[in-house]
Amino acid sequence: MTIDERLIVGLDVADVRAAEKIVRELDGVANFFKIGHGLAFTGGLELARDLTRDGKKVFLDMKLLDIDNTVANGVAKIAGMAVSMLTLHAYPKAMRAGVEAARGSNLTLLAVTVLTSMDEADLREAGYADAPAALVAKRAGQAREAGMGGIVCAATEAADVRRLVGPDMAIVTPGIRPAGADKGDQKRVMTPAEALRAGATHLVVARPIVAADNPRAAATSIIAEMTSA
């Protein structure tokens, strides 16, 4: 896997036109793009099909969670879109349903453990007794048992997750911030080099690239830091 395949640029922008502009600006630098809820609801699913037809890789960050049949139907439909990755919340029944629905396809299912914008106080408010690291570990183990293809976690937990799930599962880490960058609403962050050294296979970077004055230069700088790691 090359470095540019390990960088996933989050297209967290206002609309498809802005996303297409970012993709053009990053041509030859980045080839893997994340489409989340905001963009999906404004034409992002059609953009995903366009990107895959153009040879780009797409990560659909849909964070599916529903009754088993609904999750299975959603995963089966997405498996036919030729995207590379799809997120589900790491609830055991949902994961098992998703894994069965994706069987035989090239879709990598990722288990979302604990959002990088949440800390221990946020989890307590949501009714969880576990600290973030403990809940991440519990959900990572359940994802491995369910047969998921990878884990989404903060880079700060990547080393522990890698020890838990072994060498084969993908570890995708959002909340990546180059040294000196504004953390924004993220609470558990690492630099690109730190995340790779901790065991991450893929880094999701959105605002530090898409909100930069020069997205191409920002992405090039991040790839250089990743290469150094």
Confidence label for 177 from pLDDT (cuts 50, 70 and 90): confident
Beta strands in the chain (DSSP E): 7-10, 32-35, 57-64, 85-89, 108-112, 150-152, 170-173, 202-205
Model confidence pLDDT, tens digit, residues 51-104: 999 999 999 999 999 999 999 999 999 999 999 999 999 999 999 999 999 999
pTM recorded for the entire structure:
0.93
Multiple choice CATH, 3-228, 3.40.190.10, 3.40.50.170, 3.90.180.10, 3.20.20.70: 3.20.20.70
- Domain boundaries, given as residue ranges, for the chain: 3-228
Would the annotation count 15 as a binding residue? no
Q: Is 70 annotated as a binding residue?
A: yes
Task: Confirm or deny that 65 is annotated as ligand binding.
Answer: yes
* Catalytic annotation, residues: 63
